[in-house]
Amino acid sequence: MAVPGTFLTSVLLLLCGLGPYLDAAQSPPGVECVLFNEEYMTCTWGSRETLTANYSLYYWYENRSPVVECKHYLQDQGVSIGCRFNQSEIIQFQPFHVLVNASLGGKTLEIPSKRMELQDLVKPEAPVNLTIYNVSSNQLQLTWTSPYPKAQCLEHAVKYKSNKDTSWTEQRVKGDVFSFPSVDYEKYYTFYVRSKINSYCGSTQLWSEWSIPVVWGSNSTSKGTVEEQLHWFWIHTVLIPIASCLLLLVLVVLLVRMERVWVILMPRIPNPSKNFDELFITHKGNFQEWAGVPKDLVESFKPNYSEHICYVSELPPRQSCQPLREGSDRPPPPAPPEHSPGQSGYRGV
């Protein structure tokens, strides 16, 4: 596909009466492509606010494939602002060309193509699993892993700062281990790590994003791993507030129902007077009748015998014991005493 120069394109547009659209067609500063972790690639050329035309992207590999239009456009409110390439569409170490067409007023304007080397456009994913170990009493060791499939093609940068420092310190690291000597146990430290392709596998300045931080020191977790930090994060920000809210709710319920709780803890002594109203009012104190004792059982407990009365005197009467006469309440008079010489005292029969 022949691509005219910028000057020739401008002349043709002026001849065709498309001069007013020239600035809009050239508004994209250029196509920027980034290969993310060698998994997919995006090529963008602007944003919804800066684009005023409808753009189409075509690409091809030098001396290898025909011109192909983008299959997966990136759009913002209906305007195409970029293209996404799947892993199967990416071929590294082959010159890559793109061509963007702008449709303006029924005419098509070709923005000059751009030649790129995809191995120089790789942006690795941020490192993960940052872990800190105590190597000695005053030395720490920081390790991590990278999701990038070619670990030998990476170089890393470690950024750290203590709670008493005012600026960050950054150091380049070739492996995946960083040793930190002269640690101060009165401080706590924060570490970040990022990665990029080294000079042996490409020529790029695209760094990955900074990793999730890991903290070590007096105010940090015991081991400083990301998993432990997340564990404590959930405890302090989720579990404790929920438990506090539940405890507050229980206290409110107890306060509302305090009278019932007090009755359960300290039950009232029942008043027995209501249970004996029938005894004193209806049965007039007759316990046997109130209790339902049968009359024949009550009669069986009454005495049915008579007793003989014995009288004691100083001298024995003629008849010491006499039964009571029927129909008389008074006992018979005692017999006159008989005196015998030489006898004295009391005698009872």
pLDDT tens for 26-39 read 444 578 899 999 89
User: Residue 332's pLDDT is what?
Assistant: 58
User: Residue 266's pLDDT is what?
Assistant: 66
User: Residue 34's pLDDT is what?
Assistant: 93
CB 196 within 8 A of CB 207: yes
User: Residue 336's pLDDT is what?
Assistant: 56
| 306-338 pLDDT per residue, tens | 666 776 666 655 555 555 555 555 555 555 555
| 173-206 pLDDT per residue, tens | 988 899 987 788 888 899 999 999 998 888 888 9
The token pair at 69 is 């239009």
Please tell me which of 61-70, 138-147, 275-284 the model is most confident about, judged by mean pLDDT: 138-147
Phi, psi of 260 (to 5 degrees): -65, -40
User: Residue 29's pLDDT is what?
Assistant: 54
pLDDT higher than threshold 50 for residue 65: yes
Share of the chain above pLDDT 70, in %: 58
Q: What is the mean pLDDT of the chain?
A: 74
Q: pLDDT band at 77, cuts 50/70/90?
A: confident
Q: Around Cβ 146, how many Cβ atoms within 10 Å? A: 23
CB 45 within 8 A of CB 30: yes
- The packing angle between helices 258-265 and 240-256, to 10°, is 80
